[in-house]
């Protein structure tokens, strides 16, 4: 897990990033993701505590609690928020200052709606995002390496950035989203 590395990072005044991501591969429902995430997060925080890592000095970047990408029963943003916040309350010490969620293969809009729903419920953390694909996907497709498409790509990136900014305040409505931004980005067997 890099325990010594985390301590070395904190000892040198830097903030370690802790990323307990549960991948979306599978047909499992949201309950199974919740069950697995509870075990994973319990282990992560057990070993952080065992190694005297200061919780208030970490940046947590987990995935949200969602059903598997191939699950027939999709979860609403409210369900994702409820499961994810329940998991946070059970496993994350309030000393952790903020949580930046990964999009983890969700569509741009799905990730934004789920983040928004979490921020419409009270919780002791600053709940934000650390999206890569869910910020860049439409932008990169619009650009496609073509110099004449730079402005259109920049506009797409600005739309996504504004949407996620509103979502971290719980004020995102989902209005005016393109069909492209609603398409899932799950890649089976994705390797980092």
* Neighbour-count burial for 46-62, b at 16+ CB within 10 Å, e otherwise: eebeeeebebebbebbb
Which tokens hold the place of 93?
Answer: 């010490």
Q: Which residues does the annotation mark as catalytic?
A: 19, 61
CA dihedral 20, 23, 27, 33 (to 10 degrees): 10
Query: Residue 151's CB: how many other CB atoms inside 10 A?
Result: 11
Q: Give the C-alpha separation, 186 to 18, whole Å.
A: 22
First and final C-alpha spacing in the chain = 16
Residue listed under structure tokens 């506009």: 155
The answer to whether the Cα torsion of 81, 18, 46, 28 is positive or negative is positive
Q: CA geometry: angle at 104 spanning 48 and 77, to 5°? A: 105
């Amino acid at each position: 897990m890099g325990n010594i590395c985390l301590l070395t990072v904190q000892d040198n005044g830097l903030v370690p990033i802790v990323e307990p991501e549960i991948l979306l591969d599978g047909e499992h429902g949201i309950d199974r993701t919740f069950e697995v995430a509870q075990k994973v997060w319990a282990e992560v925080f057990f070993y952080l505590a065992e190694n005297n890592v200061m919780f208030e000095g970490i940046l947590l970047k987990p995935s949200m609690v969602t059903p598997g990408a191939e699950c027939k029963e999709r979860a609403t943003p409210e369900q994702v928020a409820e499961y994810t916040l329940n998991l946070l309350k059970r496993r994350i010490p309030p000393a952790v200052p903020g949580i930046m969620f990964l999009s983890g293969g969700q569509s741009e809009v799905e990730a934004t709606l789920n983040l928004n729903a979490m921020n419409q419920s009270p919780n002791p953390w600053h709940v934000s995002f650390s999206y890569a694909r869910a910020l860049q996907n439409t932008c990169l497709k619009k650009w496609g390496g073509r110099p004449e498409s730079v402005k259109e790509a920049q506009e797409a990136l600005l739309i996504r950035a504004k949407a996620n900014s509103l979502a971290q305040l719980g004020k995102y409505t989902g209005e005016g989203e393109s069909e492209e931004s609603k398409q899932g980005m799950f890649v089976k067997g994705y390797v980092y």
